[in-house]
Amino acid sequence: MTIRMLMVECAYSTPAIESQHPPLGFGYIASSLRKEFGDTFKFKVIKSNLTSGIKSFQPDIVGISSVSKNYTLAKEHAGTARKAGLPVIIGGVHISFMPQTLTGDMDVGVVGEGEKTIVDLMASFMANNGFEKSELLDIEGIMFRDSGNLKITKPRELIRPLDSIPYPARELLEIKKHTSMLSSRGCPYKCAFCSTARLTGNQARYASAEYVADEIEMIHRQYEV
């Protein structure tokens, strides 16, 4: 059994506001699923023309990541996927803080860190050949609608240690002259303009020096950055 997952980054085409960092979240999702399920999953990451991506890749499921400034685009992508008869998972900061904005075109929203949640979610998806709402209630860190009513499950604990998370699948991402990496997650401060503290409970978690050094070496060796 092979599951083809098309992941779309909600990125505007205007260079001035487009992120210059690769969507590492998708890379972590892909590597976490590979760690658990091996070659069961095939992935493609895009940031525009979802209709064309669906036609060329022929996915079984679509994943969307969005922050608030481009959530209108996320809703458009979800509608496009729904018209193609595809299930939709959405994650990111916006849906984590504003679950009421989950639309009828979105099957499941992921709250906060997604690496463990996506493994449980896709295990259920494969076992039931789709999302079974009675099983979704038992998966931590998600939201979905049942007969129009929003259901939010028990929050998932933050991932510890960070070294347990496999390095992101950067071969799926566009790597330019530079890239980015995460050596820690969270923040102990409470800046009013920032979502990080609210997502992580004012906690900072750090990867080990060995984990970080090995990732730097790997990035330099494979991508010459």
Calculate helix-pair angle for 115-128, 24-37, nearest 10 degrees: 50
**Do 54 and 89 have their domain in common?**
yes
We report the CATH number of the domain holding residue 44 as: 3.40.50.2300
Contact indicator for 110, 90 with CB cutoff of 8 Å: yes
Q: What is the pLDDT of residue 14?
A: 62
Residue 148 lies in a domain: yes
Q: What is the pLDDT of residue 190?
A: 86
Residue 160 lies in a domain: no
**Do 194 and 114 have their domain in common?**
no
> CA–CA separation, 20 vs 183, rounded Å?
18
Residue 8 backbone phi and psi in degrees, to 5: -115, 125
Contact indicator for 90, 102 with CB cutoff of 8 Å: yes
Instruction: Locate 147 and state its tokens.
Output: 């007969």
Q: What is the pLDDT of residue 44?
A: 98
Residue 172 lies in a domain: no
Q: What is the pLDDT of residue 19?
A: 64
Angle (nearest 5°) at CA 67 between 34 and 8: 45
Residue 35 lies in a domain: yes
**Do 112 and 215 have their domain in common?**
no
Residue 168 backbone phi and psi in degrees, to 5: -65, 150
Domain boundary among 152, 168, 191: 152
**Do 7 and 95 have their domain in common?**
yes
Query: Cα(first)–Cα(last) distance of the chain, in Å?
Result: 36
Q: What is the pLDDT of residue 95?
A: 97
For the whole prediction, is pTM greater than 0.75?
yes
Spell out the residues 6+ positions from residue 129 whose beta carbon is closer than 8 angstroms to its own: none
Residue 174 lies in a domain: no
Measured CA distances, 169 to 27, 28, 31, 46, 116 (Å): 4, 6, 5, 14, 16
Contact indicator for 207, 166 with CB cutoff of 8 Å: no
Residue 210 lies in a domain: yes
**Do 146 and 184 have their domain in common?**
no
- Residue 88's identity, in one-letter code, is V
Q: What is the pLDDT of residue 24?
A: 95
Q: What is the pLDDT of residue 18?
A: 56
**Do 37 and 105 have their domain in common?**
yes
Domain boundary among 104, 133, 152: 152
**Do 115 and 201 have their domain in common?**
no
**Do 93 and 146 have their domain in common?**
yes
Domain range for residue 204?
A: 179-223
Q: What's the total number of domains in the chain?
A: 2
Q: What is the pLDDT of residue 202?
A: 83
- For the chain of 225 residues, list the mean pLDDT of each consecutive stretch of 10: 95 62 94 98 94 98 94 96 98 96 98 98 97 96 97 97 98 87 92 85 93 97 89
Residue 159 lies in a domain: no
**Do 53 and 130 have their domain in common?**
yes
**Do 35 and 126 have their domain in common?**
yes
**Do 139 and 89 have their domain in common?**
yes
**Do 115 and 16 have their domain in common?**
yes
Residue 213 lies in a domain: yes
Q: What is the pLDDT of residue 12?
A: 66
How far from chain centre, in Å, is Cα 64? 7
